[in-house]
Amino acid sequence: MRAIVQRVLSASVEVEGRVVSEIGPGLLVLVGIRDSDADSDADYICRKVLNMRLFPNEKTGKAWDQSVMQRQFGVLLVSQFTLYGILKGNKPDFHVAMPPQEAKPFYACLVEKFRKAYTADLVKGLIWMLEAKMYLRLSLILLESKHLAEVHALNLFHGLHLSLLLRMYLSD
């Protein structure tokens, strides 16, 4: 399982011009589910995301000192199979992503894990989407459960606002 974690002042997801989910300050988490992922992968991602110290401590002024739970901020989880995409020549291949008929219930269980481990009202999941628009700043942290000791920090264009078009696929 992969999670791209984005600290946000606010985040919302639009589908067909309608806001389907939103949070105030907190974390936007893009979640990629691999075909071989198990419950232990979801446990790891949930624990790490909720406990990562990504926010400043307002009392001490210390940066990178408090977790989303300590600050009582929101978490928006977005399933994103393209995190397991690879290029074969010029064509994307998603064969290692979990198929949608398995990924949908797995994602729902992940959202429920977050809600049980934290405050249910502060955790937002999404319906399975065909197309969504999000605005975010790219200062990202990539977590991968298969390499538990590795955390990759991607500091790309910090503060730049982008509109991302996320294409999700639906099963019948």
Q: Where are the domains of the chain?
A: 2-167
State mean pLDDT over 130-147. 57
CA distance 108 to 116: 12
pLDDT winner (highest mean) among 44-48, 77-81, 94-98:
44-48
* Residue from 12, 57, 67, 82 carrying the catalytic annotation: 82
Are 131 and 18 in contact by the 8 Å Cβ rule? The answer is no
Catalytic residue check, 82:
yes
Sheet of 74-79, strand order: 123-124, 74-79, 26-32, 2-8, 140-144, 151-154
| Structural domain 2-167, CATH architecture | 3-Layer(bba) Sandwich (3.50)
On the question of pLDDT at 165 being above 50, the answer is no
pLDDT of residue 12: 84
C-alpha neighbours within 13 Å on the C-beta side of residue 106? 25
On the question of pLDDT at 148 being above 60, the answer is no
More confident residue, 77 or 138: 77
Are 80 and 31 in contact by the 8 Å Cβ rule? The answer is yes
pLDDT of residue 133: 64
Residue whose entry in the numeric block shows the structure tokens 């065909």: 130
pLDDT of residue 156: 33
pLDDT of residue 21: 87
